[in-house]
Amino acid sequence: MGRAVQNQTLWKRDRFVIERETAGRRETKTIMFLCTGNYYRSRFAEELFNHLAAEAGLEWQAVSRGIAIELGLHNVGPMSAHALRGLESRGIAVRGARRFPAQLQKEELARADRVIALKEAEHRPLLQARFPGWAGRVEYWHIDDLEDTPPGQAVPEMERYVADLIRRLSADDGGGVKS
C-alpha cells in the first residue's frame, strides 16, 4: 500500500472518531493532541492515551495532529523511533505506527471535545498565527521536544501527564466510563 493511500485510510479512521455521532450526540468523546510535527510527542500521547483509556473503560478516543508539519525537517518516516520504543517498552501495541504525520485542520479543532498542545511556549504562538481564536481554548502541557530534553526524560514526563489526564477524566462525572 502506498504512503498516500495508507495515510488516507488512517486519516479516515481518525476523522471517523472525530465525526462519529449517534442520535445527534457523540458516543465517544475526542481528545486532540497537538505538537509541531505530529511525529513524536503528540503521537506518543495519542497512543498511550488510547491504551490507558481503554484499560480504564473511558469513552474517550485520542487523535493527534501537527500544527506545522512542514517544520519537522528531521522527521524521517511515519513516527519517531523514540515514541515507538517508549510505547513498545510499556507493552503497548502501536495502531498508528505506519501513519505519516497529519496537518491540523480548523474543522478538526471545532469537532474535538478537548484539545491539548504538548508545549505551551512552542505551540501557543503557532496556534495564534495559524488558527486565530483557538490559542485560548487549548490546554497546554510543558513537554520539550528532542532538541531540549532527551527521550529518557521526556517520555516518562508525557506518561505522567497522560496518566493524570486519565485520572481527571475518570473523576469528572464518571469520566464517560462505559457501563
Q: pLDDT tens digits, residue range 139-155?
A: 999 999 888 888 899 99
The predicted model gives 15-34 an average pLDDT of 67
Res 173 pLDDT > 80: no
Cα–Cα nearest to 82, from 160, 150, 26, 148: 150
Enter the C-alpha cell of residue 125. Answer: 504562538
Is the domain spanning 3-172 CATH 3.40.50.2300? The answer is yes
> pLDDT tens, 51-78?
999 999 999 999 999 999 998 777 778 8
Alpha carbon of residue 134 to chain centroid: 17
Q: Which residues contact 110 (CB under 8 A, 6 or more apart)?
A: none
Q: CA-CA distance, 129 to 147, in Å (whole number)?
A: 23
Q: How much is the pTM?
A: 0.83
What does the pLDDT read at residue 95? 87
pLDDT value of residue 24? 52
**For the chain, which residues make up each domain, given as ranges?**
3-172
